[in-house]
Structure 1
Amino acid sequence: MKQLIDLSTWNRREHFAFFSAFDEPFHGVVAEVDGARAYAQAKAAGESFFQRYLHAALRAINQLEALRYRIENGQVVCYDQIHASATLLRPDHTFAFSFVPFAEQAADFAPGLQREMAAVEQSSGLRLSPDSARLDVIHFSALPWVQFTSLSHARHFAHPDSVPKISIGRYCRQGEALLLPVSVHVHHGLADGYHVGLFLEAFQQELDRE
């Protein structure tokens, strides 16, 4: 489900109009979060760390209205629920797109992710489909080989994109902490640095959940 935003009364109408005219309306930051508790919990539960932090990121995104805004045919809509379009790796080191449905509880989220991982492994190519073009998603990727401090994305500027892009890099242990680089790119007409900060705060809280 989604709700149409009335641009005539929206407090971001000028921000939206201004940044929507840019060739590149996205802005991004890289920050670190502490994944130590989430990593330990994942290992104790016998699940992948990737599954744990992807679910935490989705739970955080779904708490924030600004990161559920999307642009459709020049209008702004707010989705009730956001899922993941994640790039998943194959044994031959190619990747494919996936659609991983959101679920509040980890036990309900895991089967959908596992089904997509199995489907990717048994396929070839990018797996382009209507699901890979959905707007009620985040574009999510993991780079566990790179402890990055900066990140950019391939972009087709003629394509009207408004989907947030979140990437997680290689972790680094620092004392008791396990620091994860997190790249967040969002459309500036829909969300500002303040909203990115709220996401990172919520993401950290979700990583620390019991």
Structure 2
Amino acid sequence: MKYIDFNDFERKEHYKFFESVDNPQFNICMNIDVTNFLRFVKSNKISFYYSMIYASTHVMNEIKDFRYKIRDGKIILHDSLQPSFTDMESNKNLFKIVTLPLKKDIIEFSNSAKEVSKNQKEYFPTIAEDQDKLIYFSCIPWISFTSISNEIVMNKEDSIPRISFGKYFKQDNKVLLPYSVQVNHMLLDGIHVGKYIEKLQNFIDKFQ
């Protein structure tokens, strides 16, 4: 992690512009093609949810713009981000939040996430430090949503991306996944979300 001189920050004018609004968060929803990816996940008998978290985090880490954060009025740049996701408690209609580092490959991460979640007893464990290096993930596997909103604290410095998945569905011989990205407009614009989705689609298409 390092601090960035605001005078050298490329989007300082955009930062100041969106700093003037009450809530600089914006959200974009779309469908992504998970046909090949789902086939890979099933053939390897791993969790689709954990695998999508891996893919999403891996791709987001490759885009520098998503690693900029606002901390105490200053811009910082993280070396990498890590996932923090909701997961349903076994035999209960209650979720817990699970946080763990990204692993080297998708299968290792999926297996690790399953084990960590299974052994975690707390619903909302305390995260000691660097909370702004997280990506928040959630899933609503019962609904193929076309729009979604996330709870937020009214803090303009909140620059943690929020990614949500819905229930995947078939259309024109493809399997599509409702996918939502929420980010802070002080740091990111629609073009950055567009580049992220393009890279994510290309990444998951490689899995067969």
Specify the TM-score bucket, using the shorter chain as the normaliser: over 0.9
- Say if 1:51 and 1:110, in contact at 8 Å, map to a contact too: yes
- Looking at structure 2, the residues matched to 88 and 81 of structure 1 have their Cα atoms a distance apart, in angstroms, of 23
Between 1:49-58 and 1:105-114, the stretch displaced more is 105-114
- For 2:22, the equivalent position in structure 1 comes to 23
Match of residue 162, structure 1, among 155, 159, 162 = 159
Q: Secondary structure at the match of 1:23?
A: coil
RMSD across aligned positions (CA) = 1.7
Query: Corresponding residue for 2:150?
Result: 153
Partner residue of 1:173? Answer: 170
Unmatched 5+ stretches in structure 1:
none
Corresponding residue number in structure 2 for 1:108: 108
Which residue number in structure 2 is paired with residue 208 of structure 1? Answer: 205
Q: Distance in 2 between matches of 1:128 and 1:156?
A: 18
- Counterpart contact for 2:24–2:156, Cα < 8 Å: no
Distance, in Å, in 2 between the alignment partners of 1:51 and 1:17 is: 36
Equivalent residue number for residue 96 of structure 1: 96
- Partner in structure 2 of residue 143 of structure 1: 140
3-state DSSP of counterpart to 1:186: strand
TM-score, normalised to structure 1's length?
0.92
C-alpha distance 127-133 of structure 1, shift in aligned 2 (>3 A) = farther
Task: After TM superposition, give the deviation of residue 22 of structure 1 in Å.
Answer: 2.3
Q: CA deviation at 1:25?
A: 0.8
Q: Distance in 1 between matches of 2:160 and 2:78?
A: 12
Report deviation, 1:119. 2.8
SS of residue in 1 equivalent to 2:53: helix
Opposite residue 109 of structure 1, the aligned amino acid is F
Q: Secondary structure at the match of 2:8?
A: coil
Structure 2 vs 1, CA of residues 148 and 8 (structure 1 numbering), >3 Å: closer, same or farther?
same
> Measured at CA, do residues 161 and 206 of structure 1 come closer, stay the same or move farther in structure 2, by a change above 3 Å?
same
For residues 158 and 167 of structure 1, the distance between their equivalents in structure 2, rounded to whole angstroms, comes to 20
**1:53 and 2:41 are equivalent in the alignment:** no
Alpha-carbon offset, residue 203 of structure 1: 1.2
CA distance in 2, matches of 1:31, 1:107: 26
The answer on whether the counterparts of 1:99 and 1:131 sit within 8 Å (CA) in structure 2 is: no
Q: 1:138 to 1:8 in 2, by over 3 A?
A: same
Give me the identity figure in percent.
Answer: 28
* Matched positions, count: 206
Change in 2 beyond 3 A, CA 1:131/1:34: farther
**CA distance 1:188–1:131, shift in 2 (3 Å):** same
Query: What TM-score, normalized by structure 2, do the two folds share?
Result: 0.92
Counterpart CA distance in 2 for 1:57 and 1:6 is 29
